[in-house]
């Protein structure tokens, strides 16, 4: 990033609030209350950059809670470079506890953070991230406000172990649920074995949404190289917290801002990287959202065209065998970038927060363990990205083909004439409660060739979009050894789940999408090569159902429970558009005076 202008102390944005002789009254009223806890006039008025620290850790966000300690090192770093740190909370988001879903809070945290960054005397901001939605919320706000911003991941937990066996966050729970359903283990054993996956502070140690989004933040250029996947308790985590604080001050003087970094080539890199990591199926939603806030065109066709053919290089659960600690030791994100750059798959010249390019940052960063971070020409899976499907059921839905198991392939993709297509009879559920109430009902006649459909689970139907599309087969089938059926739905799926579901169908049933017209007993056809998913229902019958639904007033979904649910439902855009708020993407670079 050459020829940057050097910002002078007179140009600091914070000066308007803190040292503004044209508005003495406003200045005095603003600074006097900061003084009352011991900040000196000299610190506030001598032209030091004021650096916000967006604190995402709290007792309600346990995955990020250690940021409450790490922030001390961030502040040390800020002060060491002559800045003044101001820590403030952002809306808590804990993926696994928030009801009805943590996704409802991504846009709420985004809105709150935009207002804080816009409305207070801040020249730069350190964004503390970790649990799934905390990272996109911060990146989206950084793009909208466009003051100097740098991401500090909290890092994954240490590996979980049971004896000599690795136990990965989330992934173990999907497995244990099947064991519980099959009657192999009881409930206390289920809980105690699930707890094995969480041995320390930090976020999920698998390549779920948290590790994916923090890794992609690094590849986008928004965090220091090599920082995303340092396990939370490692000493390097606190060291990089210090360096992040230092760097944020430098970024203010160098006038490096998010919109300098969040460019189309950077997003293309994120898509490629997501495939190589076997990243979460939530990543397209969040990355498309950040791109929209940054004013960059990006859609699910880009995910397929740029990402589908990229091989899986990270041997990390749920797609692989290892966890965050091995991944970090093998070289972490810089080693994967190094492989992808060597294969010509990334834009190496994109700028990053440290003022150097992605290629400069990863020079000589070969994998240190090619069983964990594989060589490009010897990958774990050859095509690890998503396929974007469309048809009369939806305009866009994604399928992660890298997690299709041999068993699944044999049962559904074994027609030699047409190896990429399958057909099945559907059983339709309206939301997760309906699924739980009825899945074991023998009258549904679910067989090993049934396709399970979940609707009413999108951002409007289940405000925020539920992670419920990966549905477990009925207990009776599990006992027969059928552990997975194809699933399709307008909701999301946990990033720690390895199910080959068809997800994020947009538009969703609740806003008139075709899934709302499907009926149990219909046949559907999925063609992965053509990118099609179609209900095999005659046009006249489809039109009849459309008219009947219109007469009922559209697809019926549960009432709002809170004011924010109502507001978000009115404004939210479909999952393929990033689930952003319709008016919000019109605002960009709002900190400029
Ligand atoms: Fe918070 Fe996975 S639940 S990171
Ligand atoms: Mg999740």
Atom of ligand 1 nearest to the CA of 94: 1
Mutate to test the pocket of ligand 1, among 210, 228, 282, 497 (most ligand atoms within 8 A of CB): 210
Separation of 495 CA from ligand 2 center, angstroms?
6
Q: What is the pLDDT of residue 417?
A: 86
- pLDDT value of position 178: 85
Q: What is the mean pLDDT of residues 384-403?
A: 92
CA of 445 to the centre of ligand 1 (A): 36
Distance from residue 156's CA to the centre of ligand 1 (Å)? 9
Helix, strand or coil, per DSSP, at residue 451 = strand
Give the model's pLDDT for residue 500: 74
State which ligand 1 atom lies nearest to the alpha carbon of 130: 4
Instruction: Tell me which ligand sits closest to the C-alpha of residue 63.
Output: 1
Question: Which residue did the predictor score with more confidence, 496 or 242?
Answer: 242
**Residue 418 binned pLDDT confidence (cut-offs 50, 70, 90):** confident
Q: 131 in ligand 1 pocket by Cβ < 6 Å?
A: yes
Looking from the CA of residue 95, the nearest atom of ligand 1 is: 3
Mean pLDDT of the chain: 95
Number of H helices, E strands in the chain: 22, 14
Q: Which ligand is nearest to the CA of 324?
A: 1
Q: Is the pLDDT of residue 229 over 80?
A: yes
Residues, CB within 5 angstroms of ligand 2 (ion): 95, 132, 209, 494
Position 3 scores a pLDDT of 53
Q: Return the pLDDT at 495.
A: 72
The pLDDT confidence band at residue 404, using thresholds 50, 70 and 90, is confident
Mutate to test the pocket of ligand 1, among 96, 194, 286 (most ligand atoms within 8 A of CB): 96
Tell me if 208 CB under 6 Å of ligand 1: yes
Q: Which atom of ligand 1 is nearest to the CA of 208?
A: 2
* Cα 96 to middle of ligand 1, angstroms: 7
Q: Is the CB of 57 under 6 A from ligand 1?
A: no
Count of Cβ atoms closer than 10 Å to residue 6 Cβ? 8
Q: Which ligand is the nearest neighbour of the Cα of 129? A: 1
Give yes or no for residue 95 CB within 6 A of ligand 1.
Answer: yes
Q: Average pLDDT in the 58-87 region? A: 98
In the predicted structure, residue 592 carries a pLDDT above the cut 80: no
Stretch 431-449: mean pLDDT, rounded? Answer: 95
Nearest atom in ligand 1 to the alpha carbon of residue 170 is 2
Q: How far is the CA of 224 from the centre of ligand 2 (A)?
A: 25
Worst-scoring range by mean pLDDT, 155-164, 169-178, 244-253, 457-466?
A: 169-178
- For residues 172 and 160, the answer to whether their CB atoms sit within 8 Å is yes
303-335: burial string, b at 16+ Cβ within 10 Å, e else:
bbebbbebbbbbbbbbbbebbbbbbbebbbbbb
CA of residue 524 to ligand 2 center, whole Å: 28
Handedness of CA 576, 578, 580, 585 (dihedral sign): negative
Nearest-atom index, ligand 1, CA of 63 = 1
In this prediction, residue 413 has a pLDDT band, given cuts at 50, 70 and 90, of confident
- CB distance 157 to ligand 1 below 6 Å: no
- Examine the pLDDT at 260 and tell me if it is beyond 90: yes
From the CA of 207, the nearest ligand is 1
pLDDT digit string, tens, across residues 88-141: 999 999 999 999 999 999 999 999 999 999 999 999 999 999 999 999 999 999
Q: Is the pLDDT of residue 515 over 80?
A: yes
CA 591, CA 190: separation in Å to the nearest integer? Answer: 50
What would the pLDDT profile of 180-189 be if each residue is shown by its tens digit?
A: 988 999 999 9
Question: pLDDT, tens digit, for every residue of 202-212?
Answer: 999 999 999 99
β-strands 396-400, 421-430 pairing: unpaired
Q: What is each CA distance from 439 to 312, 428, 447, 500, 556, in whole angstroms? A: 34, 10, 12, 19, 21
| Segment 533-558 mean pLDDT | 96
Ligand number nearest CA of 497 is 2
Q: What is the mean pLDDT of residues 443-453?
A: 94
What percent of the chain shows pLDDT beyond 90? 89
Q: What percent of the chain has pLDDT over 70?
A: 99
Q: Is the pLDDT of residue 2 over 60?
A: no
Give helix 283-294 / helix 264-277 axis angle, nearest 10°.
170
Closest C-alpha residue for ligand 1 atom 1: 131
Q: Is the CB of 93 under 6 A from ligand 1?
A: no
pTM flag (> 0.95): yes
Cβ–ligand 1 distance for 467 under 6 Å, the answer no
Residue 216 reports pLDDT greater than 60: yes
Please give the average per-residue pLDDT across 559-566, as a whole number.
97
The pLDDT of 156-169, averaged and rounded, is 96
What confidence score (pLDDT) does residue 408 get?
A: 80
pLDDT at 593: 53
**Among residues 79, 58, 78, 75, which one has the least CA distance to residue 67?**
58
Residue 430 alpha carbon to ligand 2 centre in Å: 20
Six-digit token string for 41: 């006039």
Residue 403 has pLDDT above 90, yes or no: no
Rounded to the nearest 10 degrees, the angle between the axes of helix 300-307 and helix 264-277 is 60
How far away, in angstroms, is 154 Cα from ligand 1 center? 11
464, 102 Cβ separation under 8 angstroms: yes
Poorest-pLDDT segment among 401-405, 459-463, 534-538, 573-577? 401-405
Q: How far is the centre of ligand 2, averaged over its atoms, from the C-alpha of 106 (Å)?
A: 12
Cβ burial, residue 467 (10 Å; 0-12/13-18/19+): buried
Ligand 1 pocket residue status of 507, Cβ below 6 Å: no
Under the banding of pLDDT at 50, 70 and 90, the label for residue 5 is: confident
pLDDT reported for residue 582: 94
What pLDDT is recorded for position 415?
Answer: 85
* Ligand whose nearest atom lies closest to the CA of 65: 1
Ligand 1 neighbour 203 (Cβ under 6 A): yes
For residue 253 the two structure tokens come to 């003087």
Centroid of ligand 2 to alpha carbon of 422 (angstroms): 28
- Residue 63 in contact with ligand 1 by CB distance below 6 A: yes
What's the rounded mean pLDDT across residues 432-453? Answer: 95
Q: How many CB atoms lie within 10 A of CB 359?
A: 16
The rounded Å distance from CA 383 to ligand 2 centre is: 23
């Amino acid at each position: 990033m050459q020829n940057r202008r050097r910002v002078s102390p007179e140009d600091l944005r914070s000066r308007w609030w803190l040292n503004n002789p044209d508005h003495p009254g406003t200045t005095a009223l603003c600074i006097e209350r900061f003084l009352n806890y011991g900040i000196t006039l000299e610190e506030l008025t001598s032209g030091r950059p004021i650096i916000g620290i967006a604190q995402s850790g709290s007792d309600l966000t346990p995955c990020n809670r250690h940021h409450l300690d790490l922030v001390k090192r961030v502040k040390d770093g800020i002060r060491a470079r002559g800045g003044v740190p101001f820590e403030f909370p952002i809306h808590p988001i804990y993926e696994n506890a928030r009801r009805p879903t943590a996704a409802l809070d991504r846009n709420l945290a985004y809105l709150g953070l935009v207002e804080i960054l816009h409305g207070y005397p801040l020249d730069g901001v350190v964004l503390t991230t970790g649990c799934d939605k905390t990272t996109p919320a911060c990146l989206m706000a950084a793009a909208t406000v466009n003051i100097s911003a740098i991401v500090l991941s909290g890092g994954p937990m240490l590996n979980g172990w049971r004896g000599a066996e690795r136990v990965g966050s989330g992934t173990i729970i999907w497995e244990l649920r099947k064991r519980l359903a099959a009657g192999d283990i009881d409930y206390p054993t289920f809980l105690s074995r699930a707890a094995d996956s969480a041995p320390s502070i930090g976020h999920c140690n698998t390549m779920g949404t948290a590790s994916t989004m923090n890794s992609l933040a690094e590849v986008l250029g928004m965090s220091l190289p090599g920082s995303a996947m340092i396990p939370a308790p490692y000493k390097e985590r606190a060291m990089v917290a210090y360096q992040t604080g230092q760097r944020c001050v430098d970024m203010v003087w160098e006038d490096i801002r998010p919109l300098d970094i969040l460019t189309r080539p950077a997003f293309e890199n994120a898509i490629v990287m997501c495939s190589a990591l076997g990243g979460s199926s939530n990543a397209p939603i969040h990355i498309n959202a950040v791109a929209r806030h940054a004013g960059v065109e990006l859609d699910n066709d880009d995910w397929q065209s740029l990402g589908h053919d990229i091989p899986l290089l990270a041997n990390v659960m749920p797609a692989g065998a290892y966890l965050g600690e091995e991944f970090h030791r093998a070289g972490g994100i810089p080693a994967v970038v190094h492989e992808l750059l060597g294969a010509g798959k990334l834009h190496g010249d994109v700028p990053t927060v440290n003022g150097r390019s992605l290629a400069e940052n990863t020079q000589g960063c070969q994998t240190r363990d090619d069983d964990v971070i594989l060589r490009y020409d010897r990958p774990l899976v050859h095509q690890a990205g998503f396929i974007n499907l469309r048809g009369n059921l939806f305009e866009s839905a994604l399928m992660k083909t890298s997690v299709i198991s041999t068993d699944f392939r044999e049962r559904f993709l074994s027609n030699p004439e047409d190896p990429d297509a399958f057909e099945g009879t559907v059983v339709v559920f309206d939301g997760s409660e309906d699924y739980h109430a009825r899945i074991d009902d023998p009258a549904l006649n679910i067989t090993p060739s049934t396709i399970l459909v979940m609707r009413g689970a999108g951002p409007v139907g289940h405000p925020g979009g539920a992670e419920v599309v990966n549905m477990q087969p009925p207990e009776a089938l599990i006992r027969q050894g059928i552990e997975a059926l194809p699933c399709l739905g307008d909701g999301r799926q946990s990033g720690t789940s390895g199910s080959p579901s068809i997800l994020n169908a947009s538009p969703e049933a609740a806003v008139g999408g075709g899934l709302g017209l499907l009926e149990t007993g219909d046949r559907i056809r999925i063609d992965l090569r053509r990118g099609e998913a179609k209900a095999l229902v005659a046009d006249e019958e489809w039109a009849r159902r459309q008219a009947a639904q219109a007469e009922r007033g559209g697809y019926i979904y549960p009432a709002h429970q809170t004011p924010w649910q109502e507001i978000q439902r009115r404004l939210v855009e479909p999952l393929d558009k990033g689930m952003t708020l319709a008016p919000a993407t019109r605002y960009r670079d709002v900190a400029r005076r």
